[in-house]
Amino acid sequence: MSTPIRASSVLPGRREDIELHTADGLRLVGELALPADRPPVATLVCLHPLPTHGGMMDSHVFRKAAWRLPALADVAVLRFNTRGTSSLRGTSEGAFDAAVGERYDVAAAIEYAEFAELPNIWLVGWSFGTDLALKYGCDPAIAGAILLSPPLRFSAPEDLATWAGSGRPLVALVPEFDDYLRPAEARERLAAVPQAEVVGVPGAKHLWVGDAETVLDEIVRRVNPAVAVPLPTTWDGPMETGDVSGYADRTVASFADTPVPGPLANRAD
């Protein structure tokens, strides 16, 4: 009997708590989710939104990716809290460093994925995480990057030049009604990367509330094109229910009126 896949649905998979260790001596907490009974075809390393605005490894799109994609798309999902960030998983050591010290966090996540021999590693950044991907993610181990709601606030033209020179795929999913950068401006600013693909998502907003399924479909379309999309909305087989009550006050929306830190030159009003 088919059961609808809901926001709290946890499909079968192997999930383990992990720790990342940075070159500057910090311990970061995270989780690796793998298909239950077969090797993954691709890997997502998730870089979450601003922790000063409630961003964390459990931000809803990444939580749903970890709960669904190992079963639906043979995709491994590695998510973690950057320095100083807390979630139900725990708190990573250190303190938020406005995209400076976080370079070591990105490097530690990539190193972990390499050491675990995870295949076809893609970075998936969301908001602040997109700037981390652009600044520090163009690594030989990375197949490409997917940017969700990129504000292009902390990254600089030289970061785009690095991606342009690499030839690696760069896909930006940009909400029609984003608070910081909308599709037309995103296309203009990312034109510096010839291989960049900008996908405008009609009706969507920065937080992707109500549009997580669209995001997951677009991710799977790039990282494992052998899987048909849209992904199924029902599941035949065992399914658990995750406790999402602990996230009620830990969403980016909770901090919507809080000033966003970042270089003034790139700040969106």
Q: Where are the domains of the chain?
A: 10-254
In angstroms, the Cα distances linking 211 to 61, 120, 197 are 9, 25, 19
Superfamily designation of domain 10-254: Alpha/Beta hydrolase fold, catalytic domain (3.40.50.1820)
pLDDT digits (tens), the chain, 269 positions: 799 999 999 999 999 999 999 999 999 999 999 999 999 999 999 999 999 999 999 999 999 999 999 999 999 999 999 999 999 999 999 999 999 999 999 999 999 999 999 999 999 999 999 999 999 999 999 999 999 999 999 999 999 999 999 999 999 999 999 999 999 999 999 999 999 999 999 999 999 999 999 999 999 999 999 999 999 999 999 999 998 877 765 544 433 434 445 543 333 32
Whole-angstrom distance, CA of residue 62 vs CA of residue 80: 10
Do 78 and 155 meet the contact criterion of CB atoms below 8 Å apart?
no
Q: Which runs of consecutive H residues, i.e. helices, occur in 97-211?
A: 102-115, 128-136, 157-166, 183-189
Longest pairwise C-alpha distance within the chain: 55
Closest by alpha carbon to 44, among 32, 53, 52?
A: 32
3-state secondary structure of 168: coil
The string of DSSP letters for 13-61 reads: -EEEEEEEE-TTS-EEEEEEEE-SSS--SEEEEEE-S-GGGT--TTSHH
The helix/strand/coil state of 218 is helix
| pTM summary value | 0.93
